[in-house]
Chain A
Amino acid sequence: MIDPILPAATTFATAAVRMASPLALAGLGEAYSERSGLLNIGLEAIMLSGAFCGFIVANLTQSINLGILAAIMGGLVISLIHAYLSVTCRADQTIAGLALNFFASGVTSYAFLMRFGKTTNLAKCPVTPILPIPFLSDIPFLGPVLFRQNAFVYAIFIAVAVSILIFSRTEWGTSLVAVGENPRAADSAGLDVGKVRYTAAAINGGLGGLAGAALTLGSLGFFMENVTSGRGYIALVVVILGRRAPIGVFLAALLLGAADALQFRVQTLGINIPSQVFIMFPYVATVAVLLFSFGKSLDPGALGQPFERGRR
């Protein structure tokens, strides 16, 4: 009885972790941003830019490493534009993010069509190999699920561990929260609010760009218009579900990745339930979680609000 179940469960869980990887990376980045008070709805644009820049450079140079570097830069540029608008221009963060989503969607598909045209054979880029970690990957179930994956999944483990340290053990982690909760008090205490927010945005851009590369270089091996198809918005859900904590974000991404994998599974098995039932699940879950956590507001005090010295 056990025999057929375990391999199936392993395959499923492995797929879930792989699907979760872009969400976890982008969600972790956004956690930095939101902790500092910057709500970046433009996560979709960051990921899309990362996915595109990573793809195009890897396609031209056939080097995955250069592709990953380009993806990080691509995400960084978008995130810094958002930071410039929100911090320096004190513009509305939501509108800035939304406009960036339009802009990035336009620019990436325009540049893609410009380079490759409307051809039937897809332009390819190299895909990161599966790197089994010796010994660990031989553990039953957990081995293949966690340790027989690509570099992006391992990057999540590192990013989660580093983020835990940064958030709980460093002075900068504390100033991040201070700036997000009460920028005026943080400013009085001598913190440079703008600098902290720009740094948080840069981390968000880098991780978000990496998340985009996890899509094109990590699994697909090609690019198409709007390849992220709303994953940036889903990553925002991950951040809320995970309450902006590294482990929380990781687990929330796993949950959503599992829902995604389940939906594919159900489709291939030909079960007669519309896949939308499963796609919808994470959103309903998020609303439910938000509902049950009411009373104690989870958002940083100054989330989404611009800060201007000497203004009340």
Chain B
Amino acid sequence: MKTLRVLVSYLLVAAIVILAAVLSITAVGSDVTKAFGGFLRGAFGSVYGMSEVLVRATPLLLAGLGVSIGFSSGFFNIGAEGQIYMGATAAAVVGLFLPGLPGPILLPLAILASLAAGGLWSAIPGFLKARLGLSEVINTIMFNYIAINIVGILVRTVLKDPNYPLPMSPELKDAMALPVLLEGTRLHAGFIVALAAAVLVLALMRKTPIGFAMRVVGLNPRAASVAGISVPASIIAASTLSGAFAGAAGAVEVAGIHHRLLEGISPGFGYLAIIVSLLGKNNPMGIIAASLGIALLQVGSMSMQRQAGVPTSISWIIMGMVVLFILARTTIFGFLLRGTTGSRA
């Protein structure tokens, strides 16, 4: 009974959001059937469309996994965006300054560098929280802006491509490119890396002592402390791991898609990753589904714009509404959920 009512409340959320989408589409004077048709054709109508969903999902999945490690350990990582930029920078630097190495050595090295850079960028706010009690929410936002501007400075100065007027680094050698999985698409091996990362995070959080310690600290720091778990050490470990995965998202974007470092390498993936982690309930399998869902929404709405003239910003309305209604669900649909065993569903 309880699960049924909870399910109904989620279905109502979905119905409201779909209704809002229909109203928005009609408001711009587009045909709803044509718009939804365009959405589906864009995402599922071709191999290329489907591959684009996976391409989009790759950085969201990696960064979302990172954010989830932080969330389950009580480290509220809003800084995935900056960590992606730092990871991308580290990967590009490895590619630019060690050009002679063959791919099988260069690529793992670049990913390792991005893990280190993203991890370090997140460990600083983690340290500040663990040792000095400074709020990570504000600090990680600050570090986002610092990272984005550092990349802006680098691609205009030391890493600038001298043969090109725009602020971007020179193109990386072919050895730095992640192999394309499907001829004629942009789908690259980074997607496999991201899936492997999900399994890794699952094992890390559920099967290792450090994962256990981090989760206990996330649930109840005082109990963790009483049980002999070092709360500051766990927070620092969680923040570092959290940033490392976000950093890897930067590396796969450089090595899989752009093949150089440029400004705007992440169009808000780090912020979307927070939504992904939230919708995936901090569970790696849920995060895979959530990253695919968000990617689908974005790819589909781009096609909806091309085919039915609906602005792509509809995807941001939908994403925002989904999260807002999920946050308000237990209150708005309290009449449904009241009387179920356990006061909060």
- The answer to whether B323 touches A99 (Cβ under 8 A) is yes
B4 within 8 A of A: no
- The answer to whether B275 touches A102 (Cβ under 8 A) is yes
Taken residue by residue from 75 to 109, chain B's Cβ proximity to chain A (1 for < 8 Å, 0 otherwise) reads as 01010000000000000000000000000000000
Q: Cα distance A224–B331 when bound, in Å?
A: 35
A240 within 8 A of B: yes
| Residues of chain A with a CB closer than 8 A to B145's CB | 230, 233, 279-280, 283
B179-187, B202-210, B314-322: which one contacts chain A? B314-322
- The answer to whether B24 touches A110 (Cβ under 8 A) is yes
B336 within 8 A of A: no
| Residues of chain B with a CB closer than 8 A to A99's CB | 275, 319-320, 323-324, 327
- Which of B78, B317, B328 counts the most chain A CB atoms within 10 A? B317
Complex partner residue of B311 from A85, A109, A276, A291, CB under 8 angstroms: A109
8 Å CB interface, A67-101 against B: 81, 84-85, 88-89, 91-92, 94-96, 98-101
Q: Cα distance A110–B24 when bound, in Å?
A: 8
| Residues of chain B with a CB closer than 8 A to A121's CB | none
B50-58, B111-119, B134-142, B192-200: which one contacts chain A? B134-142
Q: Cα distance A290–B27 when bound, in Å?
A: 47
Min CB–CB distance B136 → chain A (angstroms): 10
Min CB–CB distance A104 → chain B (angstroms): 7
Q: Which residue of B lies closest to A239 (CB)?
A: B138
B274 within 8 A of A: yes
8 Å CB interface, B244-289 against A: 271, 274-275, 278
With A276-B156, A286-B142, A297-B133 already in contact, the answer to whether A96 and B317 are too (CB < 8 A) is no
B150 within 8 A of A: yes
A146 within 8 A of B: no
Q: Cα distance A230–B141 when bound, in Å?
A: 11
Min CB–CB distance A26 → chain B (angstroms): 15
Min CB–CB distance A238 → chain B (angstroms): 11
Chain A interface, DSSP helix/strand/loop, else mixed: helix
8 Å CB interface, B111-157 against A: 128, 132-135, 137-139, 141-143, 145-146, 149-150, 152-153, 156-157
Min CB–CB distance A84 → chain B (angstroms): 7
| Residues of chain B with a CB closer than 8 A to A103's CB | 316-317, 319-321, 324
Min CB–CB distance B177 → chain A (angstroms): 28
- The answer to whether A277 touches B328 (Cβ under 8 A) is no
Taken residue by residue from 23 to 66, chain B's Cβ proximity to chain A (1 for < 8 Å, 0 otherwise) reads as 01001100000000000000000000000000000000000000
B330 within 8 A of A: yes
Complex partner residue of A102 from B133, B137, B319, CB under 8 angstroms: B319
Taken residue by residue from 14 to 49, chain A's Cβ proximity to chain B (1 for < 8 Å, 0 otherwise) reads as 000000000000000000000000010100000000
Min CB–CB distance A80 → chain B (angstroms): 13
- Which residues of A are interface residues toward B (Cβ below 8 A)? 39, 41, 81, 84-85, 88-89, 91-92, 94-96, 98-107, 109-110, 113-114, 225, 230, 233, 236-237, 240, 274, 276-277, 279-280, 283-284, 286-287, 290-291, 294-295, 297, 299, 303-304
Show 15 residue pairs from A and B whose CB-CB distance is below 8 angstroms, ordered by the A residue.
A94-B78, A95-B327, A98-B274, A99-B320, A99-B324, A106-B313, A106-B320, A107-B317, A109-B313, A114-B311, A276-B152, A277-B153, A286-B142, A290-B128, A290-B138
| 7 nearest A-B residue pairs (beta carbon) | A103-B320, A106-B316, A106-B317, A99-B323, A91-B327, A276-B152, A280-B149
Give me 18 other A-B pairs in contact (C-beta within 8 A), A106-B313, A295-B132 excluded.
Answer: A85-B328, A89-B332, A91-B327, A91-B328, A95-B278, A96-B324, A102-B320, A102-B323, A106-B319, A107-B313, A110-B311, A274-B157, A279-B149, A283-B149, A284-B146, A291-B132, A291-B134, A303-B135
- Which residues of B are interface residues toward A (Cβ below 8 A)? 24, 27-28, 76, 78, 128, 132-135, 137-139, 141-143, 145-146, 149-150, 152-153, 156-157, 271, 274-275, 278, 311, 313-321, 323-324, 327-328, 330-332
